[in-house]
Structure 1
Amino acid sequence: MTKALFVSLSLISAALAQSNTTNNTAVGIEAIQAHFSNAGIVPSLLATFDPSALMTVDYSGVGDIQPGQALSETQVSPTPSVSITPANSSVQLGSNFTLMMVDADAVGTDESAGQTRHWLVNGVTLGNGTSAENVTTSSGIAITEYAGPAPPSGSGPHRYVILLYKQPDTFTPPANLSTANVGVSVFSLSSYIQETGLEGPVAGMYYTVEEGTATFTPSATSAVVTSTLPVPSGTSSGTASGSGSSPSQSSNSNGASAAFGSISSLFMIAAPVLAAVAAI
Protein backbone atom coordinates (compact mmCIF):
# COMPACT_ATOMS: atom_id res chain seq x y z
CA MET A 1 0.00 0.00 0.00
CA THR A 2 1.41 3.38 -0.95
CA LYS A 3 1.80 6.07 1.66
CA ALA A 4 -0.70 8.28 -0.16
CA LEU A 5 -3.32 5.51 -0.23
CA PHE A 6 -2.75 4.72 3.46
CA VAL A 7 -3.24 8.36 4.39
CA SER A 8 -6.36 8.55 2.23
CA LEU A 9 -7.94 5.48 3.83
CA SER A 10 -7.10 6.86 7.28
CA LEU A 11 -8.93 10.07 6.39
CA ILE A 12 -11.92 8.05 5.20
CA SER A 13 -12.01 6.08 8.45
CA ALA A 14 -11.83 9.26 10.53
CA ALA A 15 -14.59 10.88 8.50
CA LEU A 16 -16.87 7.88 8.95
CA ALA A 17 -16.20 7.80 12.71
CA GLN A 18 -17.10 11.48 12.94
CA SER A 19 -20.25 10.91 10.90
CA ASN A 20 -21.37 8.05 13.17
CA THR A 21 -20.72 10.14 16.30
CA THR A 22 -22.80 13.00 14.90
CA ASN A 23 -25.64 10.63 13.97
CA ASN A 24 -25.62 8.95 17.38
CA THR A 25 -25.69 12.32 19.14
CA ALA A 26 -28.62 13.47 17.00
CA VAL A 27 -30.60 10.30 17.78
CA GLY A 28 -29.74 10.62 21.48
CA ILE A 29 -31.06 14.18 21.53
CA GLU A 30 -34.28 13.10 19.82
CA ALA A 31 -34.66 10.36 22.45
CA ILE A 32 -34.10 12.60 25.50
CA GLN A 33 -36.60 15.10 24.10
CA ALA A 34 -39.17 12.29 23.85
CA HIS A 35 -38.35 11.13 27.39
CA PHE A 36 -38.84 14.63 28.81
CA SER A 37 -42.20 14.89 27.07
CA ASN A 38 -43.44 11.42 28.04
CA ALA A 39 -42.35 11.89 31.68
CA GLY A 40 -44.34 15.13 31.90
CA ILE A 41 -41.24 17.29 32.39
CA VAL A 42 -42.39 19.11 29.28
CA PRO A 43 -44.56 21.12 29.55
CA SER A 44 -45.13 21.02 33.34
CA LEU A 45 -41.57 21.96 34.39
CA LEU A 46 -40.16 23.25 31.09
CA ALA A 47 -42.35 24.94 28.52
CA THR A 48 -40.11 23.59 25.77
CA PHE A 49 -36.97 21.46 25.54
CA ASP A 50 -34.83 21.78 22.42
CA PRO A 51 -31.28 20.81 23.47
CA SER A 52 -28.23 21.31 21.27
CA ALA A 53 -26.11 18.75 23.12
CA LEU A 54 -26.47 15.31 24.68
CA MET A 55 -25.84 15.13 28.45
CA THR A 56 -24.11 12.23 30.18
CA VAL A 57 -24.41 11.91 33.97
CA ASP A 58 -22.13 9.47 35.77
CA TYR A 59 -22.55 8.43 39.41
CA SER A 60 -19.71 6.56 41.09
CA GLY A 61 -20.63 2.89 41.37
CA VAL A 62 -23.55 3.31 38.94
CA GLY A 63 -21.96 4.60 35.74
CA ASP A 64 -23.75 6.56 33.05
CA ILE A 65 -27.43 6.75 33.91
CA GLN A 66 -30.28 6.28 31.44
CA PRO A 67 -33.23 8.69 31.08
CA GLY A 68 -35.78 8.01 33.81
CA GLN A 69 -33.64 5.31 35.46
CA ALA A 70 -34.88 4.33 38.92
CA LEU A 71 -32.09 4.80 41.45
CA SER A 72 -31.77 4.65 45.22
CA GLU A 73 -30.86 7.52 47.55
CA THR A 74 -27.55 5.80 48.27
CA GLN A 75 -26.66 5.48 44.59
CA VAL A 76 -27.18 9.19 43.94
CA SER A 77 -25.72 10.58 47.17
CA PRO A 78 -22.27 11.48 45.71
CA THR A 79 -21.83 14.42 43.35
CA PRO A 80 -22.02 13.07 39.79
CA SER A 81 -19.73 13.95 36.92
CA VAL A 82 -21.49 15.62 34.02
CA SER A 83 -20.38 15.90 30.40
CA ILE A 84 -22.04 16.93 27.18
CA THR A 85 -21.59 15.99 23.55
CA PRO A 86 -22.56 18.93 21.32
CA ALA A 87 -24.55 18.18 18.20
CA ASN A 88 -22.89 21.07 16.38
CA SER A 89 -20.68 24.10 16.89
CA SER A 90 -23.50 26.19 18.39
CA VAL A 91 -22.30 25.18 21.88
CA GLN A 92 -19.40 27.54 22.46
CA LEU A 93 -16.81 26.03 24.78
CA GLY A 94 -15.55 29.43 25.93
CA SER A 95 -18.95 30.43 27.33
CA ASN A 96 -20.13 30.37 30.93
CA PHE A 97 -22.98 28.06 31.87
CA THR A 98 -25.30 27.38 34.79
CA LEU A 99 -25.70 23.79 35.99
CA MET A 100 -28.63 22.81 38.19
CA MET A 101 -30.67 19.91 39.50
CA VAL A 102 -34.26 20.30 40.66
CA ASP A 103 -36.84 17.94 42.10
CA ALA A 104 -39.87 17.97 39.80
CA ASP A 105 -41.67 15.60 42.21
CA ALA A 106 -43.92 12.83 40.86
CA VAL A 107 -45.52 12.90 37.43
CA GLY A 108 -48.61 15.11 37.47
CA THR A 109 -47.29 17.52 40.13
CA ASP A 110 -48.39 21.15 39.89
CA GLU A 111 -45.05 22.83 39.19
CA SER A 112 -46.43 26.33 39.81
CA ALA A 113 -45.71 25.81 43.52
CA GLY A 114 -41.98 25.71 42.77
CA GLN A 115 -39.25 23.09 42.91
CA THR A 116 -36.73 21.96 45.50
CA ARG A 117 -33.30 23.06 44.31
CA HIS A 118 -30.66 20.35 44.91
CA TRP A 119 -27.81 21.84 42.87
CA LEU A 120 -27.10 25.26 41.39
CA VAL A 121 -23.69 26.38 40.14
CA ASN A 122 -23.19 29.53 38.10
CA GLY A 123 -20.16 30.17 35.92
CA VAL A 124 -19.37 26.56 35.06
CA THR A 125 -17.27 25.91 31.96
CA LEU A 126 -16.81 23.13 29.40
CA GLY A 127 -13.63 21.42 28.35
CA ASN A 128 -10.97 18.78 29.01
CA GLY A 129 -13.00 16.17 27.16
CA THR A 130 -12.56 14.19 23.98
CA SER A 131 -15.79 13.57 22.07
CA ALA A 132 -17.65 14.72 25.19
CA GLU A 133 -16.92 17.94 27.04
CA ASN A 134 -16.67 17.79 30.83
CA VAL A 135 -18.79 20.26 32.77
CA THR A 136 -16.30 21.87 35.16
CA THR A 137 -17.79 23.38 38.33
CA SER A 138 -14.57 24.13 40.23
CA SER A 139 -14.30 27.67 38.87
CA GLY A 140 -18.00 28.44 39.31
CA ILE A 141 -20.01 29.81 42.23
CA ALA A 142 -21.90 27.01 43.98
CA ILE A 143 -25.08 28.72 45.12
CA THR A 144 -26.31 25.31 46.22
CA GLU A 145 -23.74 22.56 46.57
CA TYR A 146 -24.92 19.19 45.26
CA ALA A 147 -27.37 17.62 47.73
CA GLY A 148 -28.53 14.09 47.00
CA PRO A 149 -32.25 13.32 46.65
CA ALA A 150 -34.28 12.44 49.74
CA PRO A 151 -37.95 12.24 48.72
CA PRO A 152 -40.54 11.77 51.51
CA SER A 153 -41.65 8.17 52.02
CA GLY A 154 -44.82 7.33 50.13
CA SER A 155 -44.63 10.40 47.86
CA GLY A 156 -44.02 8.35 44.74
CA PRO A 157 -41.11 8.36 42.28
CA HIS A 158 -39.65 11.87 42.20
CA ARG A 159 -38.11 13.10 38.95
CA TYR A 160 -34.71 14.70 39.47
CA VAL A 161 -33.89 16.87 36.48
CA ILE A 162 -30.33 18.00 35.69
CA LEU A 163 -30.09 20.93 33.29
CA LEU A 164 -27.32 22.98 31.69
CA TYR A 165 -28.06 26.55 30.55
CA LYS A 166 -25.89 29.07 28.73
CA GLN A 167 -25.37 32.33 30.62
CA PRO A 168 -25.84 35.54 28.60
CA ASP A 169 -23.24 38.29 28.81
CA THR A 170 -25.68 40.26 30.96
CA PHE A 171 -26.20 37.39 33.43
CA THR A 172 -26.97 38.61 36.96
CA PRO A 173 -28.52 36.21 39.49
CA PRO A 174 -31.28 37.40 41.83
CA ALA A 175 -30.02 38.86 45.13
CA ASN A 176 -31.16 35.89 47.21
CA LEU A 177 -29.28 33.46 44.95
CA SER A 178 -26.11 35.40 44.23
CA THR A 179 -23.71 34.09 46.89
CA ALA A 180 -22.25 30.67 47.58
CA ASN A 181 -23.66 28.10 50.00
CA VAL A 182 -27.27 29.28 50.08
CA GLY A 183 -28.29 25.66 50.54
CA VAL A 184 -31.27 23.56 49.48
CA SER A 185 -34.59 25.38 49.28
CA VAL A 186 -37.71 25.76 47.17
CA PHE A 187 -37.55 28.19 44.27
CA SER A 188 -39.29 28.76 40.97
CA LEU A 189 -37.20 27.46 38.08
CA SER A 190 -39.26 29.35 35.52
CA SER A 191 -38.89 32.63 37.43
CA TYR A 192 -35.15 32.11 37.82
CA ILE A 193 -34.76 31.54 34.08
CA GLN A 194 -36.85 34.58 33.25
CA GLU A 195 -35.02 36.89 35.68
CA THR A 196 -31.51 35.85 34.64
CA GLY A 197 -32.10 35.41 30.91
CA LEU A 198 -30.48 31.96 30.86
CA GLU A 199 -30.51 30.41 27.39
CA GLY A 200 -31.53 26.83 26.75
CA PRO A 201 -31.49 24.32 28.25
CA VAL A 202 -28.43 23.35 26.24
CA ALA A 203 -28.74 19.78 27.56
CA GLY A 204 -30.59 17.79 30.19
CA MET A 205 -31.07 14.41 31.87
CA TYR A 206 -33.34 13.03 34.57
CA TYR A 207 -33.76 10.00 36.81
CA THR A 208 -36.21 8.92 39.50
CA VAL A 209 -35.86 8.13 43.19
CA GLU A 210 -38.65 6.69 45.33
CA GLU A 211 -38.72 6.04 49.07
CA GLY A 212 -41.23 3.49 50.34
CA THR A 213 -44.48 2.70 48.52
CA ALA A 214 -46.56 5.44 46.97
CA THR A 215 -49.75 6.21 48.88
CA PHE A 216 -51.41 7.24 45.62
CA THR A 217 -51.40 6.19 41.98
CA PRO A 218 -48.93 8.35 40.03
CA SER A 219 -49.98 9.60 36.61
CA ALA A 220 -49.16 7.14 33.87
CA THR A 221 -46.38 7.73 31.36
CA SER A 222 -45.86 6.14 27.96
CA ALA A 223 -42.79 4.36 26.68
CA VAL A 224 -40.34 6.03 24.34
CA VAL A 225 -40.03 4.04 21.12
CA THR A 226 -36.86 5.28 19.49
CA SER A 227 -37.63 3.46 16.26
CA THR A 228 -40.35 6.06 15.67
CA LEU A 229 -37.98 9.00 16.14
CA PRO A 230 -36.40 10.86 13.21
CA VAL A 231 -33.21 8.95 12.44
CA PRO A 232 -30.34 10.48 10.46
CA SER A 233 -29.20 8.57 7.38
CA GLY A 234 -26.99 5.61 8.21
CA THR A 235 -28.08 5.32 11.85
CA SER A 236 -29.94 2.30 13.19
CA SER A 237 -32.95 2.67 15.48
CA GLY A 238 -34.19 0.73 18.45
CA THR A 239 -36.71 0.77 21.28
CA ALA A 240 -36.37 2.21 24.75
CA SER A 241 -38.90 2.45 27.55
CA GLY A 242 -39.81 5.65 29.35
CA SER A 243 -38.51 4.23 32.63
CA GLY A 244 -34.86 4.28 31.76
CA SER A 245 -34.32 0.89 30.16
CA SER A 246 -31.54 0.63 27.60
CA PRO A 247 -32.41 0.73 23.91
CA SER A 248 -33.04 -2.69 22.44
CA GLN A 249 -31.19 -4.01 19.45
CA SER A 250 -32.40 -2.88 16.04
CA SER A 251 -34.46 -5.16 13.85
CA ASN A 252 -32.71 -6.91 10.99
CA SER A 253 -34.25 -4.53 8.49
CA ASN A 254 -33.03 -1.50 10.43
CA GLY A 255 -29.61 -3.06 10.77
CA ALA A 256 -29.46 -3.69 7.06
CA SER A 257 -30.50 -0.13 6.34
CA ALA A 258 -27.82 1.17 8.69
CA ALA A 259 -25.19 -1.02 7.06
CA PHE A 260 -26.24 0.10 3.61
CA GLY A 261 -26.16 3.72 4.76
CA SER A 262 -22.64 3.30 6.13
CA ILE A 263 -21.46 1.67 2.90
CA SER A 264 -23.05 4.47 0.87
CA SER A 265 -21.34 7.05 3.09
CA LEU A 266 -18.04 5.24 2.61
CA PHE A 267 -18.30 5.42 -1.17
CA MET A 268 -19.39 9.07 -1.08
CA ILE A 269 -16.36 9.97 1.01
CA ALA A 270 -13.95 7.58 -0.71
CA ALA A 271 -14.70 8.49 -4.32
CA PRO A 272 -13.04 11.92 -4.43
CA VAL A 273 -10.15 10.79 -2.23
CA LEU A 274 -9.37 7.73 -4.31
CA ALA A 275 -9.63 9.83 -7.46
CA ALA A 276 -7.04 12.16 -6.03
CA VAL A 277 -4.79 9.20 -5.15
CA ALA A 278 -5.09 7.82 -8.68
CA ALA A 279 -3.91 11.12 -10.02
CA ILE A 280 -0.69 11.01 -7.95
Structure 2
Amino acid sequence: MPLITSDQAAEAALRKDGIIPDVIDSFHSKTMLTISYGENKDVALGNTLAVPETQNPPQVSFQADSPNDKYTLIMTDPDAPSRKEPSMREYRHWVVSNIFGTSDFQPAAVSQGTELTEYMGPAPPKGSGPHRYVFLLYKQTPSSNVSALSSPLTTQRQGFKAHQFTSQADLELVGANYFFAENK
Protein backbone atom coordinates (compact mmCIF):
# COMPACT_ATOMS: atom_id res chain seq x y z
CA MET A 1 0.00 0.00 0.00
CA PRO A 2 1.53 3.37 -0.99
CA LEU A 3 2.22 5.97 1.67
CA ILE A 4 -0.05 9.02 1.37
CA THR A 5 1.44 12.34 2.45
CA SER A 6 -0.51 15.08 4.22
CA ASP A 7 -0.15 17.17 1.04
CA GLN A 8 -1.83 14.42 -1.00
CA ALA A 9 -4.59 14.00 1.61
CA ALA A 10 -5.26 17.75 1.60
CA GLU A 11 -5.41 17.87 -2.20
CA ALA A 12 -7.76 14.86 -2.25
CA ALA A 13 -10.11 16.60 0.21
CA LEU A 14 -10.00 19.86 -1.77
CA ARG A 15 -10.87 17.94 -4.96
CA LYS A 16 -13.59 15.82 -3.32
CA ASP A 17 -15.46 18.91 -2.14
CA GLY A 18 -14.87 20.89 -5.34
CA ILE A 19 -12.57 23.58 -3.90
CA ILE A 20 -10.34 22.46 -6.76
CA PRO A 21 -11.48 23.67 -9.37
CA ASP A 22 -14.23 26.02 -8.05
CA VAL A 23 -11.81 28.31 -6.17
CA ILE A 24 -8.22 27.25 -6.84
CA ASP A 25 -6.19 25.20 -9.28
CA SER A 26 -4.27 22.15 -8.18
CA PHE A 27 -1.26 23.06 -6.04
CA HIS A 28 1.22 21.50 -3.64
CA SER A 29 0.76 22.64 -0.06
CA LYS A 30 3.94 23.95 1.52
CA THR A 31 2.57 24.46 5.02
CA MET A 32 -0.26 23.18 7.14
CA LEU A 33 -2.80 25.98 7.62
CA THR A 34 -4.44 25.59 11.02
CA ILE A 35 -7.59 27.59 11.74
CA SER A 36 -9.32 27.54 15.13
CA TYR A 37 -12.47 29.23 16.36
CA GLY A 38 -11.78 28.07 19.92
CA GLU A 39 -11.67 24.86 21.90
CA ASN A 40 -12.90 21.91 19.81
CA LYS A 41 -13.79 24.27 16.94
CA ASP A 42 -10.90 23.65 14.56
CA VAL A 43 -11.28 23.83 10.79
CA ALA A 44 -10.35 20.38 9.48
CA LEU A 45 -10.55 19.98 5.69
CA GLY A 46 -14.30 19.84 5.29
CA ASN A 47 -15.68 19.38 8.77
CA THR A 48 -18.89 21.17 9.77
CA LEU A 49 -19.00 24.06 12.24
CA ALA A 50 -22.08 25.83 13.56
CA VAL A 51 -22.66 29.34 12.18
CA PRO A 52 -22.78 30.96 15.67
CA GLU A 53 -19.36 29.46 16.51
CA THR A 54 -17.70 31.22 13.57
CA GLN A 55 -18.75 34.83 13.97
CA ASN A 56 -15.45 36.11 15.38
CA PRO A 57 -12.11 36.00 13.57
CA PRO A 58 -10.33 32.70 14.12
CA GLN A 59 -6.81 32.03 15.33
CA VAL A 60 -4.52 31.21 12.41
CA SER A 61 -1.31 29.16 12.59
CA PHE A 62 1.17 28.03 9.96
CA GLN A 63 4.90 27.54 9.70
CA ALA A 64 6.73 30.12 7.62
CA ASP A 65 9.94 29.50 5.74
CA SER A 66 11.43 32.52 7.49
CA PRO A 67 10.05 34.92 10.15
CA ASN A 68 10.73 37.76 7.67
CA ASP A 69 8.37 36.31 5.06
CA LYS A 70 4.98 37.95 4.61
CA TYR A 71 1.72 36.23 3.80
CA THR A 72 -1.82 37.04 2.70
CA LEU A 73 -4.84 35.17 4.09
CA ILE A 74 -8.18 35.00 2.26
CA MET A 75 -11.49 33.57 3.49
CA THR A 76 -14.06 33.09 0.74
CA ASP A 77 -17.43 31.40 0.19
CA PRO A 78 -17.78 29.97 -3.33
CA ASP A 79 -21.40 28.95 -2.64
CA ALA A 80 -23.14 32.33 -2.50
CA PRO A 81 -26.09 32.36 -2.42
CA SER A 82 -26.13 28.52 -2.73
CA ARG A 83 -23.93 25.79 -4.11
CA LYS A 84 -26.60 24.91 -6.71
CA GLU A 85 -26.91 28.56 -7.82
CA PRO A 86 -23.56 30.27 -7.07
CA SER A 87 -24.41 33.52 -8.87
CA MET A 88 -22.37 35.57 -6.36
CA ARG A 89 -19.35 33.23 -6.36
CA GLU A 90 -17.12 34.02 -4.50
CA TYR A 91 -18.27 35.96 -1.44
CA ARG A 92 -15.23 37.57 0.21
CA HIS A 93 -15.35 37.16 4.00
CA TRP A 94 -11.84 38.24 5.00
CA VAL A 95 -8.58 39.37 3.44
CA VAL A 96 -5.47 40.20 5.45
CA SER A 97 -2.07 40.88 3.88
CA ASN A 98 1.40 41.57 5.25
CA ILE A 99 1.13 38.87 7.92
CA PHE A 100 4.51 37.86 9.28
CA GLY A 101 4.82 34.12 9.66
CA THR A 102 6.38 32.27 12.54
CA SER A 103 8.95 29.52 12.22
CA ASP A 104 7.62 27.48 15.15
CA PHE A 105 3.94 26.98 14.19
CA GLN A 106 2.72 29.46 16.79
CA PRO A 107 -0.39 31.56 16.05
CA ALA A 108 0.36 34.14 13.38
CA ALA A 109 -0.06 37.82 14.21
CA VAL A 110 -2.95 38.27 11.79
CA SER A 111 -4.19 41.31 13.76
CA GLN A 112 -0.90 43.07 12.96
CA GLY A 113 -1.32 42.53 9.22
CA THR A 114 -3.08 44.88 6.81
CA GLU A 115 -6.81 44.09 6.85
CA LEU A 116 -8.00 44.65 3.28
CA THR A 117 -11.47 43.25 4.06
CA GLU A 118 -12.81 43.17 7.60
CA TYR A 119 -13.80 39.75 8.91
CA MET A 120 -17.43 38.80 8.36
CA GLY A 121 -18.55 35.48 9.81
CA PRO A 122 -20.52 32.99 7.76
CA ALA A 123 -24.15 33.92 7.12
CA PRO A 124 -25.52 31.43 4.60
CA PRO A 125 -29.14 32.13 3.61
CA LYS A 126 -31.64 29.93 5.42
CA GLY A 127 -32.34 26.75 3.49
CA SER A 128 -29.49 27.29 0.98
CA GLY A 129 -27.69 24.13 2.02
CA PRO A 130 -24.14 23.71 3.27
CA HIS A 131 -21.66 26.39 2.22
CA ARG A 132 -17.91 25.84 1.88
CA TYR A 133 -15.84 28.44 3.72
CA VAL A 134 -12.34 28.35 2.30
CA PHE A 135 -9.16 29.75 3.84
CA LEU A 136 -6.27 30.32 1.45
CA LEU A 137 -2.76 31.25 2.55
CA TYR A 138 -0.46 32.93 0.05
CA LYS A 139 3.20 33.79 0.38
CA GLN A 140 4.06 37.28 -0.80
CA THR A 141 6.97 37.16 -3.22
CA PRO A 142 9.64 39.79 -3.90
CA SER A 143 7.66 40.75 -7.02
CA SER A 144 4.29 41.01 -5.22
CA ASN A 145 2.18 44.05 -6.03
CA VAL A 146 2.54 46.04 -2.79
CA SER A 147 -0.21 48.54 -3.65
CA ALA A 148 -2.72 45.71 -4.18
CA LEU A 149 -1.79 44.39 -0.75
CA SER A 150 -2.04 47.66 1.16
CA SER A 151 -5.31 49.23 0.00
CA PRO A 152 -8.74 48.14 1.25
CA LEU A 153 -10.75 46.23 -1.33
CA THR A 154 -14.05 47.50 -2.67
CA THR A 155 -17.07 47.35 -0.40
CA GLN A 156 -18.77 44.88 -2.75
CA ARG A 157 -17.93 41.45 -1.37
CA GLN A 158 -19.80 39.23 -3.83
CA GLY A 159 -18.22 38.20 -7.11
CA PHE A 160 -14.70 38.23 -5.68
CA LYS A 161 -12.25 35.95 -7.47
CA ALA A 162 -9.41 34.89 -5.18
CA HIS A 163 -7.48 33.39 -8.08
CA GLN A 164 -7.69 36.61 -10.12
CA PHE A 165 -6.78 38.85 -7.15
CA THR A 166 -3.79 36.72 -6.17
CA SER A 167 -2.56 36.43 -9.76
CA GLN A 168 -2.62 40.22 -10.13
CA ALA A 169 -0.85 40.62 -6.78
CA ASP A 170 1.70 37.92 -7.72
CA LEU A 171 1.15 35.69 -4.69
CA GLU A 172 2.09 32.03 -4.26
CA LEU A 173 -0.53 29.68 -2.77
CA VAL A 174 1.10 27.70 0.05
CA GLY A 175 -1.80 26.40 2.16
CA ALA A 176 -5.56 25.84 2.20
CA ASN A 177 -8.21 24.66 4.64
CA TYR A 178 -12.01 24.82 4.72
CA PHE A 179 -15.15 23.97 6.62
CA PHE A 180 -18.88 23.71 5.96
CA ALA A 181 -21.61 25.74 7.67
CA GLU A 182 -25.35 25.76 7.07
CA ASN A 183 -28.36 27.77 8.20
CA LYS A 184 -31.19 25.21 8.27
Corresponding residue for residue 97 of structure 1: 71
Q: Deviations over 1:185-228 (max 9, x none)?
A: 1212121022111112x11110001112xxxxxxxxxxxxxxxx
Q: Is 1:194 aligned to residue 151 of structure 2?
A: no
Q: Deviations over 1:127-182 (max 9, x none)?
A: 2x64x24322233110112110001112111100001101122322676x743485
Q: Is 1:121 aligned to residue 96 of structure 2?
A: yes
Determine the C-alpha separation between the residues in 2 that align with 1:199 and 1:84: 15
Determine the C-alpha separation between the residues in 2 that align with 1:184 and 1:142: 15
The amino acid that maps onto 1:76 is T
Corresponding residue for residue 154 of structure 1: 127
1:64-143 matches, within 5 Å, as: 64-85=42-63, 91-105=65-79, 114-127=89-102, 130=104, 132-143=105-116
1:224-263 matches, within 5 Å, as: none
User: Secondary structure of the equivalent of 1:36?
Assistant: helix
Identity %: 31
Give 1 or 2: higher helix fraction. Answer: 1
Contact 2:13 2:46 in 1 (8 A): yes
Determine the C-alpha separation between the residues in 2 that align with 1:203 and 1:98: 11
Which structure 2 segments of 5+ residues have no match?
none
Which structure 1 segments of 5+ residues have no match?
1-25, 213-280
From the CA coordinates, give the structure whose radius of gyration is larger: 1
Contact 1:40 1:108 in 2 (8 A): no
Corresponding residue for residue 51 of structure 1: 29
* RCO comparison, higher one (Cα < 8 Å, 6+): 2
Give 1 or 2: higher strand fraction. Answer: 2
Contact 1:145 1:181 in 2 (8 A): no
TM-score, with length taken from structure 1: 0.57
Corresponding residue for residue 36 of structure 1: 14
**CA shift at 1:97, angstroms?**
0.7
User: Secondary structure of the equivalent of 1:101?
Assistant: strand
CA separation of 1:110 and 1:78: change in aligned 2, threshold 3 A? closer
> How many residues were matched structurally?
178
Contact 2:74 2:135 in 1 (8 A): yes
Q: Deviations over 1:220-259 (max 9, x none)?
A: xxxxxxxxxxxxxxxxxxxxxxxxxxxxxxxxxxxxxxxx
Determine the C-alpha separation between the residues in 1 that align with 2:27 and 2:129: 24
CA separation of 1:96 and 1:40: change in aligned 2, threshold 3 A? same
C-alpha RMSD of the superposition: 2.5
Corresponding residue for residue 143 of structure 2: 170
Determine the C-alpha separation between the residues in 2 that align with 1:73 and 1:184: 22
TM-score, with length taken from structure 2: 0.84
The amino acid that maps onto 1:120 is V
